[in-house]
Chain A
């Protein structure tokens, strides 16, 4: 009594997926010997004779001449003579059945048809970790950012309701809501930037540098101040339009009115180079500087920082806006580097962003001037003899009188004012 065995189409040449039957050498009912060539198969690489792995009688041929057969598909069925059947132990380990335990068919030496999906190897073993929560609060980056934005202290609300005690968005939002509702007694309220009356603040770091810098400026530079107030409505509108356009072009940036003012200042400095200059008393010279590196005063938790927009004269408005954005962010995040904080040739102070209408800025030593930009707000304005509501701004220049005279500085600030009133002129001159 025999045993029925299927001989599956082998991978005849390292990674082949199929082969075409070009000839059968045996018919159904024929007896075949072990290794007797039963058919010829043409693959993408060669035509080869296929020997039978079993001795016995051919029961069925699964393909005709001309058929393309995938690797791993039954090719021929043979009623195997008993003496050639592997013993029970071997049989248990052999054949397609045995390899099913691994989800793979055994004849497939190569890739072939083996990439049929199985569900058997899915480990399914990953469970949310429970208990034994690590001591530091667990939260993913967007949740950490949200917590930072909402002022929620993660450590205070850990463990969270997520897997393994991770803090979720919902946890943070709930904590923030609770924070807002909490009654806060006046006596407990902290002052600006957490400072309270009676505290002693050490003069170190940024504060120490500010002390030295402004003292030096006010004691060594004989400065004078002059200002103009102008209608900045068009600059305001232009900024908003430029932002829309830049975003339409795929730039993730806000072009602020301040950026447009900055652009105007660059043009004005080119026209009045004594405002972008250095006095060298030892050499007895005033050097009018070629590059314009614009310092921008930024109010941060650490105090005043003045990051520098390098080579402002060779930047487009878009570029300026981007760089202002980056530097302001970096200064506020405390990630601004020393390279970004030195080497300015002229400074702009946007105290208007804090709501101030007018200021008396201190020159950033050893520069030749500083421009203060007040708040751009709607105010009553006289135009063509009529009172109208316009958005206006006061621009103030403090300048080193040793380097520039009032005539130059006055014209400078008036020119900046003109450009702010009619920003189209920027295009004319840039």
Chain B
């Protein structure tokens, strides 16, 4: 039945359905139990499934991720929550040195089906350390899958797929989109695999590569480009940052000959750098313009009052689209 759901509700529903279908799924982290998480993503899970399957942990991110590994090794499917992007860093070692590498070290004998949920990105007027875009760290770490939904429907389907994945998944939730609403049927019938990119909107002139929080912004930019500039943008939602769906990306760039990548994370060594590298490797002779990147600046995430000047928005995207077209 079609209902209006927010991304937060879709994520909550996905957790609920996975916990219902597989009693090995455990949800834990800071404030996820009684409170239901600071963003209410785990709302009512403890009431429904009990304190053994949805529980609060001590305030320790390294502890949460390290014990997730242990639980997964035992046979559970942990779905730990990192409360905010900026608080994942104490858990960095467990994620990068252990969770990501365990399978490889064991020559594939050990699988770690765990999903680390991380609300990420800015645009909510939060205090510092609450608006970080750390995806490059995880994407750079071999052994982790990194995915990020841009719509409530994807949030639902991709989280379920992530939990079912035999590999560890970093599931990045664009927190500024938690409250975006759409009418959607849940569960989504025949969902696209989470590793595949999607052409959100076909177009002919420039390929606009977006993911997570920038999906909505990218679609708004496409509407504006069409209306104001008479330019047709093809909006490609990556969905998965690692692995990267090269086929969809390259096919689009070969069609349009131009590529503009958008992300909140800072420019230097952001996802845009990797995408630019792959595009020039695989579609060099199709390129009518250099791959351009529309990103946050190479400064620490700014205070709330300046974040609108820092974050990529429709106008900045259009600037770069025009620049691409000038070549």
Contacts and interface: CB of A to CB of B under 8 A. Distances in A.
Interface of A: 11, 14-18, 44-45, 102, 104, 108-111, 114-115, 117-124, 126, 128, 140-142, 145, 162-163, 166
A170 to B, nearest CB: 14
B220 A117 contact: yes
Interface string B74-114: 00000000000000000000000000000000000000000
Contact of B327 (A44, A102, A123, A140): A140
A351 B54 CA distance: 73
B319 A126 contact: yes
Greatest chain A CB density within 10 A among B257, B284, B308, B313 is at B308
B282 interface: no
Contacts of B224: 117
Given A16-B179, A141-B285, 17 more contacts: A14-B124, A14-B125, A15-B125, A15-B126, A15-B175, A18-B179, A44-B179, A104-B308, A109-B304, A110-B304, A111-B124, A118-B315, A119-B315, A140-B289, A163-B326, A163-B327, A166-B327
User: Which are the 7 A-B pairs with shortest beta-carbon distances?
Assistant: A15-B124, A110-B125, A109-B125, A121-B315, A111-B123, A17-B179, A110-B124
Contact of B125 (A111, A128, A142, A166): A111
Contacts of A104: 308
Contacts of B217: 115
B316 A121 contact: yes
A15 B123 contact: yes
B126 A14 contact: yes
A66 to B, nearest CB: 16
Nearest to A46: B40
Contacts of B184: none
Contact of A141 (B39, B123, B220, B287): B287
Greatest chain B CB density within 10 A among A11, A140, A163 is at A140
A256 B31 CA distance: 65
Given A111-B176, A140-B327, A117 B314 contact: yes
Contacts, number: 85
Contacts of A114: 308
Contacts of B304: 109-110
A311 B313 CA distance: 53
A105 to B, nearest CB: 10
B280 to A, nearest CB: 8
Greatest chain A CB density within 10 A among B175, B180, B326 is at B326
A16 B126 CA distance: 11
Contacts of B228: 119
Interface string B270-297: 0000000000000011111100000000
Contacts of B305: 109
B323 A122 contact: no
Contact of A14 (B6, B130, B309): B130
B319 A122 contact: yes
B158 to A, nearest CB: 21
Contacts of A108: 125
Contacts of B285: 141-142, 145
B97 to A, nearest CB: 32
Contacts of B316: 121
B322 interface: yes
A15 B315 contact: no
B125 A17 contact: no
Contacts of B39: 45
B78 to A, nearest CB: 26
A168 B273 CA distance: 27
11 contacts: A15-B124, A15-B178, A17-B179, A44-B178, A102-B308, A108-B125, A115-B220, A117-B220, A120-B315, A140-B287, A142-B285
B318 interface: yes
A330 to B, nearest CB: 16
Greatest chain B CB density within 10 A among A15, A17, A145, A163 is at A15
A145 B190 CA distance: 42
Given A142-B257, A142-B287, A126 B179 contact: no
A45 B40 contact: yes
Contacts of B322: 126
Nearest to A122: B315
Contacts of B327: 140, 162-163, 166
Contacts of A18: 179
B323 A126 contact: yes
A111 B285 CA distance: 40
B8 interface: yes
Given A108-B125, A109-B304, A15 B176 contact: yes
Contacts of A120: 315
Contacts of B175: 15
A82 B250 CA distance: 63
A39 B155 CA distance: 34
Interface string B229-250: 0000000000000000000000
Contacts of A102: 308-309
Contacts of A128: 326
Contacts of B6: 44
B277 to A, nearest CB: 15
A163 B327 CA distance: 7
A163 B220 CA distance: 29
Nearest to A18: B179
A119 to B, nearest CB: 7
A110 B180 CA distance: 14
Contacts of A140: 287-289, 327
Greatest chain A CB density within 10 A among B125, B224, B305, B326 is at B125
Given A115-B220, A115-B313, A142-B288, A123 B125 contact: no
Nearest to A104: B308
A117 to B, nearest CB: 5
B180 A17 contact: yes
Contacts of B323: 126
Contacts of A15: 123-126, 175-176, 178-179
Contacts of B318: 122
